[in-house]
Each structure stands twice: as C-alpha cells, then as structure tokens.
Amino acid sequence: EIVLTQSPGTLSLSPGERATLSCRAGQSVTSVYLTWYQQKPGQAPRLLIYGASNRATGIPDRFSGSGSGTDFTLTISRLEPEDFAVYYCQQYGTSPHFGQGTRLEIK
C-alpha cells in the first residue's frame, strides 16, 4: 500500500496569489499513475492533472503539475475565486489510494 501525504492540510491565500500543494508518497510512484483532483462542496471530484503533469480537458493553464518518484506538486499560478476547493492527489495502483487532501481557502 502506497501512502500519500499531502501538505499543507489547509492553505489560506488570496485571489491572484500563487498556490503550491505538495503530495509525498511513502514509496516511489510511477508518474503516469499520479493524479490530482479538485472537489467542491456537494460535488464529485473533478479530474485536474493526470500523469503527474498533463492537464485534463478543459482545465485552465494556470493549473500545472510536476514531480517524480515520491514528490509531486500541484501549482495554481494565479488563484481565481472558483479555485478555492479541496485538492486530492491519488495513485492508481492495484488498489488506488488518495492523499488526505489539501483545503485551499480564501484568506
């Protein structure tokens, strides 16, 4: 079982600022299987980034993913009001696992 640890637990920023979210794996993860999702209250998760760095269809280019091995990062270059949500990283293995999430809140 690969444990994913996200940090920080909560990130308080203002619109226009840059957000950097971290996802650290307990053992090496193949980048193709590292994914980021966004979830807003009352909604299902939404695919953001797959393969560690590929934006899903319709995702604005202010979202970017990077990393390899055990350390992955989701960056939102300039926060828009609609970006405040919870973000999860996930590895798709034999039994997929999610990180515990980072809550991005308006400061």
Partner 1 sequence: EVHLVESGGGLVQPGGSLRLSCAASGFTFSSYWMHWVRQVPGKGLVWVSRINTDGSSTSYADSVKGRFTISRDNAKNTVYLQMNSVRVDDTAVYYCARPSITRAYFELWGRGTQVTVSS
Q: Given candidates 19, 25, 50, 104, which one binds partner 1 under the rule CB under 8 A?
A: 50
Q: Should residue 101 be labelled a site residue for partner 1 when binding is judged by CB under 8 A? A: yes
Q: Should residue 35 be labelled a site residue for partner 1 when binding is judged by CB under 8 A? A: yes
Residue range at the interface with partner 1 (CB under 8 A); choices 16-24, 35-43, 60-68, 75-83:
35-43
Residues near partner 1 (CB under 8 A), total: 24
Residue closer to partner 1 by CB (options 3, 17) is 3
Q: Given candidates 58, 61, 81, 95, which one binds partner 1 under the rule CB under 8 A?
A: 95
E strands in 1-107: 4-7, 10-13, 19-29, 34-39, 46-50, 54-55, 63-76, 86-91, 97-98, 102-106
Q: Identify whether the C-beta of residue 96 lies closer than 8 Å to the C-beta of residue 74.
A: no
Q: Should residue 92 be labelled a site residue for partner 1 when binding is judged by CB under 8 A? A: yes
CA distances in angstroms from 7 to 20, 59, 60, 61, 96, listed in the order given = 9, 22, 23, 22, 19
